[in-house]
Amino acid sequence: MSCPPDADWPALAADLITPARRDELLAHAVTCDDCGPLLRAAIHDIAVEPSGEEQAVIAGLASASPAWQRKMARRLARKRWVWLPDFEPAPAWGLAMAGVLVALASTWGYLRWNQGRPERWLAQAYAQQRPFDFRIPGSGHGPVRQQRGPAVNPPIELREAEAAIARELADNPDNPRWLALRGRAELLGWDAESAIATLTRALELKPDDPALLADLGVAYALRAEAANRVVDYGPAIEQLSRAIQSKPDFAEAVFNRAIVYERMFVLGEAIRDWDRYLSLDSSGSWAQEARERRAAIEQMLKKRKQALDQVTSEPAALLARIARGDRVDPEIYYDIAVAEWLPLLDNVEHGRALGALSDLMQRRHGDPWLRNTLSAPRAQSRLQGLQALSAAVKANLADENEKSLASSREALSLLRSAGDHAGALRAGVEEVYALRRMFSADCLDRAGAVAHEAMRREYLWILGQTLVESGICHAALGDVGGAERYQTRHRPAQPRRVPCPRFTRPGHAGQRARQ
């Protein structure tokens, strides 16, 4: 065959060609007096002189052993050269040519080892100063650094990896491997915004890659935490779910999705993911952390039950707790207020309890929803709407989702016609929940409409609940890119913190909590 273009040898040395073309070029280099030296020079040009520690690692490679090289040379010398089928080398010449090939293979082995150093540096930097709860593939276990955000003195391995990645991307700006590494380095530096942009670009070049999807999911979760934007947990769940769907045994992605579910207080899904993780990784430090996190959720559920045991549908009990100065979480009373008290609004005691609850939500979270619905016009159609809303909440809590869907839509129509727009929006929450549990694609559009209106009116409980449902709905329906499109459409110009419910849709005493 004629000699390849000179530009092919640096590309081979940099591992920027297909495996088939690589084998073809290596075969040619062994038999060509002109191209063999070109390959050696290209490898020499890009190789970094290894440190003493790295030389020890290289010396431990099988291909670096003189005995291995002699044995491999003898084996190759006895073979016919498949790229020269009519040529049978003399034993001495064949042994010499085989020695050249083994030398190239040894150099190639070092090259590939050297090329993998940025991945190792990033994994070492993570283990030394673990910056967040989430995992990155191939990393060792370590305690989470207490300082949130970028490290004041980042590990030298991170700086070295960033420098190596920058050099490679200067020459190959659209290489998905180096973009993936830059995105991972940006994650370690808590630069979630840049990581999202970098990893999105890498996915455009290498669609549906599980590692890229998983890292992008972590990037969204980090932005949710850094900017107090629970809105970003939706795309985090979506990207991690896509990674797991593509690679079901992707233990790190399962680990990270479990943590995101914890953040969203979707505790049932979090427990299921921790169980799934432990089925993939049952021993070692990461498995121990998974067990501890699962146990913490079980404890949280126990506390939830204890809190719910104190909650009754009697308005006098809430008023007494407030009078005693007890710490009261108004969120856990919301379903009771809607299901039991609002239809009896004209009753004096129920009215007092609802007023006290609305004051708590306003003071604690700046959420005026209940205050606004209490001040809506009193009309017969409004009472009928509140009764339908009560039926929708009770039906969803009992997993009677088709019944809830019908009741929530009835409530929506009646409350709108009565001028109770706040109550109508709460009916929209029940509609979204029922649609999501029924795996209906309509939940996506309805969640967007409800969240947009809740954001405009600053109904933060409704907004937080709808964002949770929207993220789960996107992931469950496999709507590729849907969560990000939704975030783009409904992102506020000045985002403010949205308090997720302390207990996600807990229900009232004696009834099963939603998961």
DSSP string of 104-169? Answer: HHHHHHHHHHHHTHHHHHHHHHHHHSB-SSS--TTPPP-PBPSS-SS-SS--HHHHHHHHHHHHHH
Terminal CA-CA length for the chain: 66
Look at the chain and report how many structural domains it folds into: 2
Q: Is residue 344 part of a domain?
A: yes
Nearest to 128 by CA among 162, 152, 163, 156: 156
**4: Cβ contacts below 8 Å, ≥ 6 apart:** 25, 28, 35
Query: Contact 258/273 with Cβ under 8 angstroms?
Result: yes
The pLDDT of residue 502: 36
CB-based contact 443:469 (threshold 8 Å): yes
Residues 184 and 222: beta-carbon distance below 8 Å: no
Q: What is the pLDDT of residue 359?
A: 93
What residues are paired with 130 via a beta bridge? Answer: 144
> How far is Cα 515 from Cα 503, in angstroms, rounded to an integer?
10
Find tokens 């080398």 and name the residue.
89
In angstroms, the CA 287 to CA 278 distance is 6
Contact 432, 443 (CB under 8 A): yes
* pLDDT for position 55: 52
Residue 415 domain-assigned (yes or no): yes
Rounded CA gap, 290 and 326, in Å? 34
Determine, yes or no, domain membership for 406: yes
Cα distance between residue 83 and residue 86, in whole Å: 9
In this prediction, residue 301 carries a pLDDT of 84
Whether 241 maps to a domain, the answer reads: no
The set of residues, in sequence order, having a beta carbon less than 8 Å from that of 200 and lying 6+ positions away, is 216
Instruction: Give the closest residue to 254 by CA, choosing from 212, 297, 290.
Output: 290
**Is residue 255 within a helix (H) or strand (E), and if so which, with residue range?**
helix 251-263
Is residue 393 in a domain? yes
| Residue carrying structure tokens 């985090």 | 236
Hey, what's the torsion of the CAs at 328, 329, 335, 341, to 10 degrees?
30
Residue 215's H or E segment, with its range, is helix 210-226
DSSP string, 349-380: HHHHHHHHHHHHHHHHH---HHHHHHTS---H
The residue range of the domain holding 18 is: 8-47+59-115
- Compute CA 443 distance to the chain's CA centroid, rounded to the nearest angstrom: 21
Q: What confidence score (pLDDT) does residue 254 get?
A: 96
What is the token pair recorded at 412?
A: 């929506």
Q: Which among 67, 89, 115 is the end of a domain? A: 115
Which residues have a Cβ under 8 Å from the Cβ of 167 and sit 6 or more positions away? none
What is the Cα–Cα distance from 292 to 404, expressed in whole angstroms? 37
**What is the block-wise mean pLDDT of the chain (515 residues), using blocks of 10 residues?**
73 62 74 77 55 50 53 49 42 48 49 62 90 90 77 84 93 94 94 96 94 96 85 83 92 96 83 95 94 94 76 88 85 88 92 93 87 91 95 92 96 95 95 90 87 83 78 62 46 38 37 35
Residue 399 lies in a domain: yes
Backbone angles phi, psi at 478, to 5 degrees: 65, 35
Quick check: 382 and 414 in contact, CB under 8 A?
yes
CA–CA dist 260, 465 (Å, integer)? 15
Q: What is the DSSP letter of 450?
A: H
Contact 464, 500 (CB under 8 A): yes
What is d(CA 221, CA 237) in angstroms, rounded to the nearest whole number?
8
pLDDT of the residue at 513: 33
CB 39, CB 109: distance < 8 Å: no
Q: What is the pLDDT of residue 410?
A: 97
Q: Which residues pair with 144 in a beta bridge?
A: 130
Q: Does 264 map to a domain?
A: no
Looking at residue 304, what is its pLDDT? 74
Neighbours of 5 (CB within 10 A): 8
How far, in Å, CA of 414 to CA of 319, rounded? 30
The answer to whether the CB of 111 falls within 8 A of the CB of 47 is yes
User: Residue type for 213, please?
Assistant: L
Domain presence at residue 409: yes
pLDDT number for residue 145: 77
Is residue 141 packed enough to be buried (19+ CB in 10 Å), middle (13-18) or exposed (0-12)?
Answer: middle
